Structure 1
């Protein structure tokens, strides 16, 4: 098979794209780079170097809440370069009033977990095996 270089973007179904864009821009440091209406759906794209997230709603969503146990997305994980950077993220999230977990170690690395306004699980991850 030909090479895959990286994930191009994420596309998330959210209840309020404007609210979600504000959250991602404030918490992850993205900025809104595109906004349109497609039929009755709103689409916003937020981005920063290496990360692009499409946020869209649907006129009749199957459910009003995110559930990681449902078939589909369990969580979104972003790679963080070092333990020091992850600690800085943790400090910044807490200072901004964003509810998040403590930094947790696993055999795979270090994890910091939070949720967006719709409860979509977000993980900040350092590949630093214990």
Structure 2
């Protein structure tokens, strides 16, 4: 089977790409690297080392809020390097007024959960050591 080298990017449909880009830039430390408006369908791409997120709106989708129980995306997870890093993220999120879960343990590691402006679930995750 041919190789897959890495995860390239994720594209999220949002109600307001500019508002979402501001959130991801402010909260997750990304930067807007591209924006365009094609006949009212806006696209913002935000990125930081190892992470690229496309944020776009589509005609007719604004009245349908995110629902993780529908077919499609349940949540997006970003791996962080250590429990100390996860604690630093929790402190940073709280300082930015972002509502988040406390750090929680699962059979797979530790995680911290938050939501973006469209209620898309975001997880910051530290895997259990192998």
User: What TM-score bracket applies, with the shorter chain setting the length?
Assistant: over 0.9
* Distance in 2 (alpha carbons) for counterparts of 1:3 and 1:79: 22
* Distance in 2 (alpha carbons) for counterparts of 1:106 and 1:80: 15
* Distance in 2 (alpha carbons) for counterparts of 1:63 and 1:51: 28
Q: Deviations over 1:63-116 (max 9, x none)?
A: 531100000000000011110000000011011110000000011000100000
Question: SS of 1:26's equivalent?
Answer: helix
* Distance in 2 (alpha carbons) for counterparts of 1:127 and 1:13: 28
Structure 1: stretches of 5+ with no match in the other structure? none
Q: What is the root-mean-square deviation of aligned Cα atoms in Å?
A: 1.1
Matched residue pairs, number? 129
Spell out structure 1 runs of 4+ moving beyond 2 A.
Answer: none
Shift of 1:40: 2.4
TM-score normalised by length of structure 2: 0.95
1:82 aligns with 82
> In terms of mean alpha carbon deviation, does 8-17 or 63-72 score higher?
63-72
Shift of 1:55: 0.3
1:47 aligns with 47
TM-score normalised by length of structure 1: 0.95
Shift of 1:33: 0.4
* Distance in 1 (alpha carbons) for counterparts of 2:63 and 2:94: 30
Structure 2: stretches of 5+ with no match in the other structure? none
Question: SS of 1:45's equivalent?
Answer: strand
